[in-house]
Amino acid sequence: MGVSVVPTKPGKDDPFSYVPEAQNLASQGVTGYGESLQPAILKDVGNALGGLNSIGGLRSGGVTTALSDISSKYGAMIGAYSKMAAGEATAAGLEARRQKFQEDQARRARSAGLLKAIGSVLGAGIGFAVGGPAGAGVGAGLGAKAGGGVGGGGGGYSDPAPGDEGY
């Protein structure tokens, strides 16, 4: 039990990292579905045995055939449910991983934006101290670039820092 359809390697970047947990939950659902069918299975077995007994067919091999038919019927029902649950579990696991990735990406973007703003303020202050008002604009642009790079903001589109319009 608990065997994953897709072999996974542990790691934060593995797109299938949430699939085994979703499959375990789906497996529990399939077990519950099978257990919910128990009264109907027992009723069908009882009806089959009663019918065979009424015609004197309990020793004729009819029991084996009747039980085989009942097993096939309910096996097919549980198999179809299991197939559906496995597909949905894989999709749910992938969706959970996608959501986690988006949350992580948004957190990194907020962090990079904050560091860029801090870098702009510090750069403007240092630039103003060194070069006056003209140095403040240059310092703000350099500080924003330094702050954005430290926060992992590189590699994607971002609005240019003040003074970087030509970059």
What is the helix (H) or strand (E) element at residue 122, kind and residue range? Answer: helix 62-150
Task: Tell whether the torsion through CA atoms of 50, 55, 60 and 64 is positive or negative.
Answer: negative
pTM over 0.75: no
Residue type present at position 100? K
7 pLDDT exceeds 90? no
Measured CA angle at 101 (ends 120, 1), to 5 deg: 155
Report pLDDT digits (tens) over 9-60.
Answer: 556 667 778 888 888 888 888 999 999 999 999 999 999 999 888 888 778 8
